[in-house]
A and B are shown apart, each in its own frame.
Chain A
Amino acid sequence: MSAMISIQNVNKWYGDFQVLTDCSTQVAKGEVVVVCGPSGSGKSTLIKCVNALEPFQKGEIIVDGISVGAPKTNLPKLRARVGMVFQHFELFPHLTITDNLTIAQTKVLGRSKEEAMEKGLMYLDRVGLKAHAHKHPGQLSGGQQQRVAIARALAMDPVAMLFDEPTSALDPEMINEVLDVMTELAQEGMTMMCVTHEMGFARRVAHRVIFMDKGHIVEDCDKESFFGSPRSERAQQFLSKILQH
């Protein structure tokens, strides 16, 4: 398998404070990787580096053969090829659901209105929300908004999807509807990198699990060995805390 996302020795500082230290890992095409770790461990920062929403000072990230850090890289073009789902959904509240789904397709990819609409509605149907097409985001529940956000990213035909804590802002009863969509997506072979605390999801769906702490990648192994016998003490503590729930 070839690497869709390759992260090599990435270092990042906020002023004097180092948030990422020598992070290296790879996500192969069709692979689902879950990134977990305590808050402040740098996992959200790392995933935002992948599509250059956060700059990094040292190291290299290559997505689908394109270097993210290289100054001549066309970042909008790169980002259009990578879908991202945020903790707080970040749908555009002033636009209707259909406009949310089509605006980047028409303005960034240059698709026709009809083509964008057709594609957008297809994905909206897939996440089970076709009936809400003409509403505004504020009229939907959190779980529904997050499913629209996933559809918005998918409509761009991304080569990979990044999930930044997609369920942590949701009420418990809405978490599963979002995880179900993500699971389906994984089963279809989408390349996915997910920052999440949902260990059940990781167990069922992930191929590999990365555990981060204080800006370091502490564990990076297949899920069987991660859940079976994590090597580091920090990962053991984290797991025992999270699995108690």
Chain B
Amino acid sequence: MNYNWDWGVFFKSTGVGQEIYLDWFVSGLGWTIAVALVAWIIALILGAVLGVMRTVPNRLVAGIATAYVELFRNVPLLVQLFIWYFLVPDYLPEGLQTWFKQDLSPATSAYVSVVVCLGLFTAARVCEQVRTGIQALPRGQAYAGLAVGFNLVQVYRHVLLPQAFRIIIPPLTSEFLNVFKNSSVASLIGLMELLAQTRQTAEFSANIFEAFTLATLIYFVLNMSLMVFMGWVERRVRVPGLMVGGK
């Protein structure tokens, strides 16, 4: 069989409107970033709350957070996505259901599902990192916070969390990268993010290798930029004289 190598394919017309294949990649990348960033914000906030819950001296509160983590870590991401996209909307209250199924465009409803799914899924992982970070701190820090008159909320806010987050920046970075990679499951419920556009380009143009090589490159560059960004964050919050990750 003859394979027609053609690296110029990205500038050729897709046959759909005025678009060239590169336009598809650009719009795909846009969706990927839009999914990952919003999901990451949800994961960070919820994960921090859950991580704190796992360390408080209250069995019920800690138990709820533990149950959350076990549930979201032991069910495959794709199953969770199907549940959020196919199942949950049917059990929403009447008004919300019509809004989700009829008022939203298919792309928007897929987007909402995948952002919620990925946010809650990643929160379980962030939770475990936050918990590890808090538990890595010397016990005396919590004592000292209480001794100066802080209540429990203030101890977490001013003493424990600022230190814990600094310790866990490296593992958080890899979770941050995972959100971008995991957002590719959105292609399986029809959201035209980067991977879906790649597959479509491969199938439309028959230039499989070029399409997937470009996608790989984009993911690669995306990874590198995120790592550079997180490295910058780490340097910005670095505390002089404090060995991060030590102790």
Contact = CB atoms under 8 A, between A and B. Distances in A.
A107 B146 contact: no
Given A53-B147, A91-B144, A138-B239, 5 more contacts: A53-B146, A76-B149, A90-B138, A94-B166, A104-B150
A234 interface: no
Residue among A82, A83, A108 having the largest count of chain B Cβ atoms under 10 Å: A108
Contacts of A75: 146
B108 interface: no
A80 B148 contact: yes
B76 interface: no
B26 to A, nearest CB: 41
B148 A94 contact: no
B208 to A, nearest CB: 51
Nearest to A104: B148
Interface of A: 48, 51, 53, 75-77, 79-84, 86-88, 90-95, 103-104, 107-109, 135-140, 152-153, 156
Given A76-B151, A107-B150, A152-B148, A94 B242 contact: yes
B166 A79 contact: no
B235 to A, nearest CB: 15
A98 to B, nearest CB: 14
Given A53-B143, A107-B154, A93 B149 contact: no
Contacts of A156: 148-149
A156 B149 CA distance: 9
Contacts of A77: 149
A86 B144 contact: yes
Contacts of A153: 147-148
A75 B166 CA distance: 29
27 contacts: A53-B146, A53-B147, A76-B150, A79-B147, A79-B149, A81-B149, A82-B147, A84-B148, A86-B140, A86-B143, A86-B147, A90-B140, A90-B144, A92-B141, A92-B145, A94-B163, A103-B158, A104-B148, A107-B154, A108-B148, A135-B241, A138-B239, A138-B242, A152-B148, A153-B148, A156-B148, A156-B149
